[in-house]
Amino acid sequence: DTGVSQNPRHKITKRGQNVTFRCDPISEHNRLYWYRQTLGQGPEFLTYFQNEAQLEKSRLLSDRFSAERPKGSFSTLEIQRTEQGDSAMYLCAGRGLDTDTQYFGPGTRLTVL
């Protein structure tokens, strides 16, 4: 158990709806990362935070995606106007100050119908 939790674990939604996912890292994780993984592929970087500051966003993160980490603790990832191509596993990872290693939460599997 990495101590990183994600909710919900599964989400089924209809195309066009908005969805929000939450990630709770452990307190030592000052860095928090979001990745997306589709079937048969490795995780792809979306964005990361150092404390509450969002420091990098991938080109994969279209305008429909937004992420926040308001107090440097939990983070949310929102997808507006979902499309079928958004169906994937959304993974959150935490990383501490004195390590290069990222520890993943269990992920949120999104299915867009």
Partner 1 sequence: QKEVEQNSGPLSVPEGAIASLNCTYSDRGSQSFFWYRQYSGKSPELIMFIYSNGDKEDGRFTAQLNKASQYVSLLIRDSQPSDSATYLCAVNFGNEKLTFGTGTRLTIIP
For 69-97, give the DSSP string.
Answer: -TTSS-EEEEESS--GGG-EEEEEEEE-T
Dig out the tokens for 84 from the structure: 């079928």
Considering the rule CB under 8 A, would residue 31 count as an interface residue with partner 1?
yes
Query: Closest CB to partner 1 among 33 and 86?
Result: 33
Considering the rule CB under 8 A, would residue 106 count as an interface residue with partner 1?
yes
> Which member of 75, 86, 105, 112 binds partner 1 (CB under 8 A)?
105
Q: In this structure, are strands 5-7 and 19-24 parallel, antiparallel, or unpaired?
A: antiparallel
Query: Closest CB to partner 1 among 18 and 111?
Result: 111
Query: Closest CB to partner 1 among 15 and 60?
Result: 60
Which residues fall within 8 angstroms of residue 63, CB to CB, at 6 or more apart?
none
44 three-class SS: strand
User: Shortest Cβ distance from residue 16 to partner 1 (Å)?
Assistant: 27
Dig out the tokens for 75 from the structure: 């983070």
Instruction: Enumerate binding residues for partner 1 (CB under 8 A).
Output: 31, 33, 35, 40-45, 48, 55-56, 89, 91, 100-107, 109
